[in-house]
Amino acid sequence: MITQVGPLISSDKITSKLIKKTVCAYCGVGCGITAEINETDRTVTVVGSDHPANFGRLCSKGSALSDTISLDERLLEPEINGQQVTWDQALNKVANGFSDIIKQHGPDAVAFYVSGQLLTEDYYVANKLMKGFIGSGNIDTNSRLCMSSSVVGHKRAFGADTVPGCYEDFEQAELITLVGSNTAWCHPVLFQRIKKYKEANPNVKVVVIDPRKTQTCDIADLHLPLDLGTDTWLFNGLLNALNQNKKINHTYVNEHCEGLDSAILAAEKSSGDIFELAEKLSVDERDLSTFFDWFSHTEKSVTLYSQGVNQSSSGTDKVNSIINCHLATGRIGKEGMGPFSMTGQPNAMGGREVGGLANTLAAHMDFDEDSIDRVKRYWDAPNIATKPGLMAVDMFNAIESGKIKAVWIMATNPVVSLPNANQVKRALEKCELVVVSDCIADTDTVRLANVKLPATGWSEKDGTVTNSERRISRQRGLLPNAGNAQHDWWIINEVAKRMGFEAGFSHANQAEIFREHAALSGFENSLKSTLKQSNRLRDFDISGLQNFSDKEYEDFAPIQWPVNTEHPEGLKRFFENGQFFTPNRKAKILALEPKLPINLPTHDYPLRLNTGRIRDQWHTMTRTALASKLNQHISEPFVEVNTKDAKQLKLNDGQLVNVNSKWGHMLGRLIINDNCKKGDIFAPMHWTQALSKNGRINTVVNPEVDTFSKQPESKHTPVNVSAYDAKWFGFALSREEISWPNCDYIVSAKGKEHNRLEIADYNTLEDPINTMINWLGFDNTHKIEQAGLELLTYQDESSRLFRVALIDNQGALQGLVMIAPNQHLPERTWLGMQFNKTSLDSRSRRALLSGYAPAGEDIGRIVCACFSVGEKTIEKAIKGGCENAAEVGAEIKAGTNCGSCVPEIKQIILRC
């Protein structure tokens, strides 16, 4: 157990171990971590800290952070065209390359594509360099894919990109509506907070609005599985119902809002009666009425929404349709009330604050004349950008067309994460100069870089991040920089200096950058005439931190912005005074005409693809896939298809299927269930080409974007699904790295003491045993003997079953391959565990090629990643008398750490 230290922490020596407080590297919940550091062997142990986002909890991903920091997969030296170079050579190459292109083609011929994984200080100097010194708006961030619709929705309604509330509101509400958010898997710690609160307050209602039945439905009193893309109809319908039920707060609206009448007219027009609306949404009319009734009669209502709302060609309207209902009822800026956008990434909010989106300038200022002039003066900027730059999808289109000739990609993997991902790959292949800064050596994007710049990783980076509730926290460097890796802010500053911009980029450390950023937020940020309680021009103001000493910066405790003279301790909620950031200080209720997704199903592409995240992986898996325990729950890219569609298409559970759209193709493992509605399919967004030959779902996803936010429509693409008629299926487990064989389906995953490949192909496997031996790295049996290994084989030619194992002279398993004519192969968990043994006992050795564990040893597929508890162990506990998830937890620990597997444990209980 790690000793907890007080709230304002730098570092301390406790029993010769260094303890530091930092934050998690993944989702927007922004959990705090207490890390115990062992510098000698570069290891770190993590537990949840007393941070106000998580109060000690961590989810499976956060808990496994210590397993992701080894140097094995790191990019440790700068490279130019595959050759290791010095930092000086690499920085000169980048600076000269960018300068030459700018000189020849102008500033808009270059671009930065950055990331919500960067720290605020990195983000700040990247934005300053592009918009203030290079003179182009061409810096955009992968947050474009995550919450740019919320940004625009906030600005349209509030006049600023302001998150009104805080996490505490969820624990004060009486109705919690979760829209387009699988909170249980995507923001697990927040889900656990809500769950605990609901358990203690059974009268609190939870409504889940999602086309898919997700794990989040586990705590739902009501699930509304609306049709993909129909959210604006739903919330227009709610506004209409609020009006009909006389639940509009006219006193509040008259004083603080405008636009209600036309919004209600538009809502009436799109809603029809409750039956028509229910039919439009494809939901039960009684359920719809129940939701409207609960919302109408529950003052303390919070509506939390996420990517299911944002990732749409009408995402901004969807956001405003939710905000409309809160403004019309005056349920905003008060305890337990408000719309709340959950951000995906750890520092998406920090990116918004510095101006990392191409359509914002800096510090929540836009490209208006006053702001351009103000920022120009503040930065003493020689070439201030005067218009927005190209946003993500358009940026990569411009790269492909040759308009942009040099791009610098920082801490992100667009070849996997952007829609129409093959086009992104083509664009980078054509681009004159591709610079990639990353901490990982082999990502789909790093593979295409002319210049590779090794950046520090989570355990080394030092700066600040902002979570979904506007809370700024310190991420603290735990370990010395790996190899020759450098912090992103340092790399950017060094390039800027070499481009001739020494004066603006001579910061000595990250604290100095933070002070400059904080001071800009407060620069000329007051209204000439003080309006009631608010005298600030802009919402983002952390000028109260601008004079922090290095020591204060090191020590500062998490705080919610704004932090200024009015709010020296930060602020939980904006808009308590009903004053917004529009010119007349009134919020805007918008008239919204709902729109369907741009590409609708057709005869050739009759199904609708929805994409999202899974529980134990993060983004493009470049870091989470390094933790073997996170690869156990779901190890392959999958496609979830409704039972009725599967029957119609004559598909079988576990087989491989092709997913095709007009844009591309993906191959994945089929899961048949009723989580998706008939007509919809779901696939995870995580798998890369580095980890799977054909598993990138974003090659399939259409590149349509929202008109206002330019956020891609990642939740709706017309596709077809067909069987992939593999002649054989197999898997290979090996202590050594396995070279990829020549077959269509390949997925690799790291196990504890082994590497795993899932493989299948359309062509008959010739000479199976020798081929399998070959996959394990041996040309023939003679070479195996020479290596002192024992070869075990099993073959049943008539059934086309083939198995080989290699065991060393100590009795330890070195490799294992199994091939069958169909997907019904032995479960991999027990087989993988045999690699953890220094020597196989006789029982295990006998059982090995049967594929079946000896009695009592088979734990089944892993369900609880935190404690590696398998499905069969859980079934055994249930059969032994455990009647609920709590009893299962008490008996075998499953579900007792992060709790993310509890919905699945409940499903197993139902099944048993």
**Nearest of 587, 595, 592 to residue 329 by alpha carbon:** 587
Q: CA-CA distance, 187 to 174, in Å (whole number)?
A: 20
CA diameter of the chain: 89
Q: How far is the CB of 62 from ligand SF4 (least distance, A)?
A: 2
As given in the structure block, the two tokens for residue 882 are: 């455990």
Q: Which is nearer to ligand SF4, 336 or 899 (CB)?
A: 899
Q: Which is nearer to ligand SF4, 185 or 745 (CB)?
A: 185
**C-beta of residue 90 within 8 angstroms of C-beta of residue 99:** no
Q: CA-CA distance, 169 to 301, in Å (whole number)?
A: 9
**By beta-carbon distance, which residue lies closest to ligand SF4?**
62
Q: Which is nearer to ligand SF4, 62 or 870 (CB)?
A: 62
Length of the chain: 912
Q: Which is nearer to ligand SF4, 375 or 625 (CB)?
A: 625
Q: CA-CA distance, 237 to 132, in Å (whole number)?
A: 45
Q: Secondary structure of 736-751 in the HEC alphabet?
A: CCCCCCCCCEEEEEEC
What are the φ and ψ backbone dihedral angles of 652, each rounded to 5 degrees?
-115, 145
Q: Does an H or E element contain 22, and which?
A: strand 17-23
Enumerate binding residues for ligand SF4 (CB under 6 A): 24, 26-27, 29-31, 54, 58-59, 61-62, 187-189
Q: How far is the CB of 108 from ligand SF4 (least distance, A)?
A: 36
CA angle centred on 469, ends 215 and 162, rounded to 5°: 115
**C-beta of residue 899 within 8 angstroms of C-beta of residue 195:** yes
As given in the structure block, the two tokens for residue 408 are: 């610098």
Q: Which is nearer to ligand SF4, 30 or 768 (CB)?
A: 30
Q: Which is nearer to ligand SF4, 31 or 118 (CB)?
A: 31
Q: How far is the CB of 832 from ligand SF4 (least distance, A)?
A: 25
**C-beta of residue 765 within 8 angstroms of C-beta of residue 728:** yes
Rounded (10°) CA dihedral 415, 416, 420, 426: 20
Q: How far is the CB of 68 from ligand SF4 (least distance, A)?
A: 12
Q: Which is nearer to ligand SF4, 344 or 419 (CB)?
A: 344
Q: Which is nearer to ligand SF4, 717 or 868 (CB)?
A: 868
Q: Which is nearer to ligand SF4, 127 or 343 (CB)?
A: 343
Which residues touch 844 (CB under 8 Å, ≥6 apart)?
Answer: 834, 837, 854, 857
Q: Which is nearer to ligand SF4, 189 or 864 (CB)?
A: 189
Q: Which is nearer to ligand SF4, 31 or 234 (CB)?
A: 31
> DSSP 3-state assignment of 889?
helix
Q: How far is the CB of 693 from ligand SF4 (least distance, A)?
A: 28
State the sign of the Cα–Cα–Cα–Cα dihedral 641, 647, 648, 654. Answer: positive
> DSSP 3-state assignment of 771?
helix
Which residues touch 830 (CB under 8 Å, ≥6 apart)?
Answer: 853, 857, 858, 859
**Nearest of 717, 116, 721 to residue 419 by alpha carbon:** 717
Q: How far is the CB of 895 from ligand SF4 (least distance, A)?
A: 15
Q: Which is nearer to ligand SF4, 31 or 349 (CB)?
A: 31
Q: How far is the CB of 559 from ligand SF4 (least distance, A)?
A: 17
Q: CA-CA distance, 411 to 122, in Å (whole number)?
A: 11
Q: How far is the CB of 24 from ligand SF4 (least distance, A)?
A: 3
Q: Which is nearer to ligand SF4, 31 or 847 (CB)?
A: 31
516-525: b or e for each residue (b if 16 or more CB lie within 10 Å)?
Answer: bbbbbbbbeb
Q: How far is the CB of 63 from ligand SF4 (least distance, A)?
A: 7
> DSSP 3-state assignment of 209?
strand
Q: How far is the CB of 215 from ligand SF4 (least distance, A)?
A: 14
As given in the structure block, the two tokens for residue 216 are: 């989040």
Q: Which is nearer to ligand SF4, 141 or 345 (CB)?
A: 345
> DSSP 3-state assignment of 30?
coil
DSSP sequence for 335-349: TT-EEEEPPSSTTHH
Q: How far is the CB of 532 from ligand SF4 (least distance, A)?
A: 36
**C-beta of residue 663 within 8 angstroms of C-beta of residue 717:** yes
State the sign of the Cα–Cα–Cα–Cα dihedral 611, 616, 620, 625. Answer: negative
Q: Which is nearer to ligand SF4, 655 or 897 (CB)?
A: 897
Cα separations (Å) of 797 from 800, 822, 825? 5, 14, 16
Q: Does an H or E element contain 154, and which?
A: helix 148-158
Q: CA-CA distance, 469 to 864, in Å (whole number)?
A: 29
Strand boundaries in 685-797, DSSP class E: 717-723, 728-734, 745-750, 755-761, 790-796
Q: How far is the CB of 53 from ligand SF4 (least distance, A)?
A: 7
Cα separations (Å) of 499 from 100, 505, 579, 901? 10, 11, 44, 51
What are the φ and ψ backbone dihedral angles of 513, each rounded to 5 degrees?
-65, -45
Q: How far is the CB of 469 from ligand SF4 (least distance, A)?
A: 12
Q: How far is the CB of 795 from ligand SF4 (least distance, A)?
A: 45
Q: CA-CA distance, 593 to 549, in Å (whole number)?
A: 51
Q: How far is the CB of 54 from ligand SF4 (least distance, A)?
A: 6
Q: Which is nearer to ligand SF4, 371 or 632 (CB)?
A: 632
Q: How far is the CB of 191 from ligand SF4 (least distance, A)?
A: 8
Q: How far is the CB of 467 from ligand SF4 (least distance, A)?
A: 8
Q: Which is nearer to ligand SF4, 31 or 721 (CB)?
A: 31
Q: CA-CA distance, 850 to 866, in Å (whole number)?
A: 29
What are the φ and ψ backbone dihedral angles of 208, each rounded to 5 degrees?
-110, 125
**Nearest of 266, 250, 268 to residue 258 by alpha carbon:** 250
Q: Which is nearer to ligand SF4, 188 or 860 (CB)?
A: 188
First to last CA, the chain: 36
Q: How far is the CB of 23 from ligand SF4 (least distance, A)?
A: 7
